[in-house]
Structure 1
Amino acid sequence: MMPKSKEFISSSESDSDSDQPKQKKLKVEKKVKKESKKEEKKETSSSSKGPGGEHMFQLSKMRFATVSEFRGNVMVGIREFYDAGGELRPGKKGISLTKEQWTRLKEQIDEIDDAVKEFS
């Protein structure tokens, strides 16, 4: 009758016995490392693709900056999203900037940042 568990293997095979648990442990460690790398990638990757193919950058829980194309024009948006049955959908609250408006905003970032600091 063969033992059902490796625990019942005789002590004369102790070398293989000690190797096997280490191998199992390595598999678990590899799995944990793989999962943590996925999490790191999520944290370091600032952009994801939205349902419409737009690039989405999360600003807070349900607020995103997006880069998309609308009627042949590149648009930068800041919008609140809502959960529609497990799918993110854009809400009414938000603004879309043309490429030119986005450029103007970027040119004024330092002055806007200084104004914010006055209130902080």
Structure 2
Amino acid sequence: MPKSKEYLSDSDDSSEEEVKSKKKQKREREDDNKMTKDEKKPAKKAKTEDETVWDLGNNRQVNVRNFKGKYYVDIREMYYDKDGDLKPGKKGIFLTMQQWQKFMDVVEEVDKVAKSKS
């Protein structure tokens, strides 16, 4: 049976304040992550130690990654870690070099069809 307000301890009030504080912090992080139209930047390359990364905007990136001694093209949606570091998300595709080459063989044709539809 739930306690009435008169029997709640001070610790219950502090936990409610903690929840409010966490919600406020989450809203502030979301506001920081929103970009206005003027703030959006074109795709650019950023080189890390072993990888070159191309930013596609909207937290999406492309890079060529070495995994278990083989190279892959990784097109992925990113997310922010609690420390503010950009980490790979679950949404994405990891293409072998053979798959990437097949994709590149049809990209002009796909582009023509896409332009005709828009």
Question: TM > 0.5 between the two?
Answer: yes
Structure 1: how far apart are the matches of 2:80 and 2:43?
Answer: 22
Deviations 1:54-108 (A, max 9, x none): 2210001310011110111110011000111210000000001011111111111
After TM superposition, the score normalised by the length of structure 2 is: 0.58
Structure having the higher helix fraction is 1
Identical-pair percentage: 36
2:59 corresponds, among 52, 57, 62, to: 62
Q: Which stretches in structure 1 are left out of the alignment for 5+ residues?
A: 1-42
2:73 is aligned with 1:73:
no
CA 1:119 to 1:44, structure 2 compared with 1: closer, same or farther past 3 Å? closer
Q: Which is higher, the Rg of structure 1 or of structure 2?
A: 1
Query: How far did residue 118 of structure 1 move?
Result: 2.2
Contact 2:43 2:57 in 1 (8 A): no
**Aligned partner letter, 1:94:** G
Residue in 1 that maps onto 2:44:
46
Q: State the match for 1:28 in structure 2.
A: none
| Alignment RMSD (CA, Å) | 2.2
Q: Distance in 2 between matches of 1:57 and 1:101?
A: 19
Aligned residues: 77
Partner SS state of residue 116, structure 1: helix
Residue matched to 2:93: 95
The amino acid across from 1:91 in the alignment is G
How far the C-alpha of 1:119 sits from its partner, in A, is 1.3
Distance between the aligned counterparts of 2:43 and 2:58, measured in 1? 16
Are the equivalent residues in 1 in contact too, given 2:63–2:73 (CA < 8 A)? yes
Residue identity in the other structure for 1:67: V
Write the letter of the residue equivalent to 2:58: K
**C-alpha distance in structure 2 between counterparts of 1:61 and 1:45, whole Å:** 11
- 4+ runs of 1 displaced by more than 2 Å? 43-46
The TM-score, its normalising length taken from structure 1, stands at: 0.57
Counterpart for residue 33 of structure 1: none
